[in-house]
Amino acid sequence: MPAAFRDLLRPPAGMAFDFSQPAGEPALAPHDGVSWRVFANPVSLFVGGVTAVLLELAEPSVRSGVWDHSSFQRDPGTRLRRTGFAAMMTVYGPRSQAEKMIAHVVRMHERVEGVTPDGVAYRANDPRLLDWVQATASFGFTEAYHRYVRSLSAHEKDSAFAEAGPAARLYGATGAPRSWKEWESMLARTAPGLEDSAILADFMRIMGEAPILPAPLRPLQRLLVRAAVEITPEPVRSLPQLRGRGLRFGEAALVRALARGSALVPLGDTPQAQAARRVVPA
């Protein structure tokens, strides 16, 4: 079990990286901040990532960009690990390498543009869309940790959003929320434009069937997807494709046991462990 969850923290094939070097170089996120704790838990990281994608797929322009221009439908496991590695780099990676990686992503996104089924033109580097993507990621990871690992204070939740700021601005998300209150304001402004889609149903099916965890653990994988739906805020949680697909009676306790248990079991030389050797004096 721990080994399966540990694999969620590993970079995908061909993207191995030593987070312990160069010695002393800081990360974009402070090593004594909330983000370093939040991103160290593989269970809540998986749950929060799914929640973020659910929110992104409810926004029409983001949905078209994600679904039409990524490898998610063909290879969801690798796509999720690549996204997870990018998140790890922004939190734990040496600042110079994180900046280099983000610049590469921004250049790739310059080529991503199109038109939604409703005829609305979009481009991936539109600051409005970038703000929503960054906001949903910060919310998803923070809320999953808060609900299933350890309760966070209002100040800690604010800190999680503030700590994501440097990376968000490098991506071009200059208006991403810097506090929980700003997130709630953005959600309220965006809510009228969030909508249902058959793609949400496709995403739920893929996340339940994709070989992300080993086959014997596929029921747990589906449990974690339900845990993600459970913490997805309204109005998205009540969309037809998600309605009634949250946790069942007693399952929240099981998810908390898995998440808290993974925090107690040694996970080996994870990005956080390597980064700590780099920036924390012995």
Name which of 8, 55, 86 is nearest 228 in CA terms.
55
The pTM of this model reads: 0.95
**Residue 150 domain flag:** yes
234-254: per-residue pLDDT in tens?
A: 999 999 999 999 999 999 999
Other C-beta atoms closer than 10 Å to the C-beta of 183 total 23
157-198: per-residue pLDDT in tens?
A: 999 999 999 999 999 999 999 999 999 999 999 999 999 999
Other C-beta atoms closer than 10 Å to the C-beta of 185 total 12
Q: Specify whether the CB–CB gap between 129 and 71 falls below 8 A.
A: no
**Residue 62 domain flag:** yes
**Residue 205 domain flag:** yes
Output phi, psi for 122, to 5 deg.
-140, 160
**Residue 279 domain flag:** no
pLDDT for the residue numbered 274: 93
Which domain covers residue 145, as residue numbers?
2-274
Q: Rounded to whole angstroms, how far apart are CA atoms 9 and 45?
A: 9
**Residue 110 domain flag:** yes
How many angstroms separate the first and last alpha carbons of the chain? Answer: 31
Q: Rounded to whole angstroms, how far apart are CA atoms 64 and 172?
A: 19
88-100: per-residue pLDDT in tens?
A: 999 999 999 999 9
Could you give the number of structural domains in the chain?
A: 1
120-150: per-residue pLDDT in tens?
A: 999 999 999 999 999 999 999 999 999 999 9
pLDDT for the residue numbered 5: 67
15-30: per-residue pLDDT in tens?
A: 788 999 999 999 999 9
